[in-house]
Homo-oligomer: A and B are copies of this chain.
């Protein structure tokens, strides 16, 4: 067990944990494309073929050679020979001849020889096998060319990309029905404290129901992980060590909440110190959330969170959620998050050398979003319920002035 612990900043804590982790700390797995929404790609995806696989019309109209329409106007329309039509889902069988036009529906395959489509609105079927065109088109007009969306061989999605609806659609278009993605992080949750009882029980005097297991499980789900709950452990070191061993064997990351009082905090540190390499930091420069412990045991991060639900949730937000967002593949390539920009309605004080997280309500006022601090004791859960988000007063600032622009993270 290391003897010298020190309080670290949130950034230092993230660095300590991530440096200790292997580059890919989560396994990869195959997922059905239909259920891969929100997952992260575990490998680069190259287009196996052109998309679209043939040039297509984007309108209903006539496939033509653009130069056959040059100079056409409403008063001096051009005349073209109507020669057949393209059917949806069929190969365009005929080759377009100079001076002729082929009817084509939206999405239809452009016939060889054609290089543009005239919208039906600018044509008239005048009978006798002829149509008029009263507006010229340029080469490529109203078509999507073969390979214009992606060309065969092109890198279309990089490893680490989070699959949103657009990425899922693109993969379907390219013929992928399964993709290799990073496994969802399994996060073990252990609640500790002699005073804690499950929500289904009636607390005796001095006892209180377990809030942290539930709030943290929801935060894990929100961050794209899978919560695995290990229930409530009394403040007995051997018992905590036993449950922690089980959790480490079954999950990728373990959260232990509780133990904010001095004696119990020492117990959690002692149990974590028995692992290898053991405790990475002891104390986080954050308010609320100072009594946070970080450890790495058998290659897996273990975070000891404060017992106060509000504090535990802030530390999750600041320290654990980014770790889950990295997943195995996105550490280097994670897209920047864009928090909401808002205007702070009152000045807030902070201490030097720590980050303060302040809960705020958001109010739209004209073009601005106002961030109104929700004041009240940090131990209250109801103030979290009232809040729409959290703002961070960074280490380097001793406070924020009312009226200044702030960034608000989701709560």
* Residues in chain A within 8 A of chain B (CB atoms): 33-34, 37-38, 51-54, 56, 58, 60, 86-92, 105-109, 120, 144, 148-150, 156-157, 163-177, 193-196, 199-200, 202-219, 221-222, 227, 229, 235, 260-264, 307-309, 313, 335-336, 338, 340-341, 362, 364, 367, 369, 377, 379-382, 384-385, 387-388, 405, 411
Q: What would be 25 A-B contacts, judged by CB atoms less than 8 Å apart?
A: A34-B227, A51-B382, A53-B208, A60-B261, A60-B262, A89-B194, A90-B206, A106-B260, A106-B307, A107-B307, A120-B262, A148-B380, A149-B380, A166-B215, A169-B211, A169-B309, A170-B382, A172-B210, A172-B213, A174-B209, A175-B200, A177-B200, A335-B388, A338-B362, A338-B388
Question: Do A169 and B215 form a contact, CB below 8 Å, given A58-B377, A89-B193, A106-B261?
Answer: yes
Give 8 A-B pairs besides A144-B379, A163-B218 with Cβ atoms closer than 8 angstroms: A37-B222, A53-B203, A60-B262, A91-B205, A156-B385, A172-B210, A174-B199, A340-B341
Task: Write out the residue numbers on chain B whose beta carbons fall within 8 Å of the beta carbon of A263.
Answer: 105
Assembly CA distance A70 to B225 (angstroms): 50
9 interchain residue pairs of minimum CB distance: A169-B215, A89-B195, A91-B205, A166-B384, A105-B261, A172-B214, A165-B218, A89-B194, A37-B218
Contacts of A107 in B (CB 8 A): 193, 195, 208, 260-261, 307
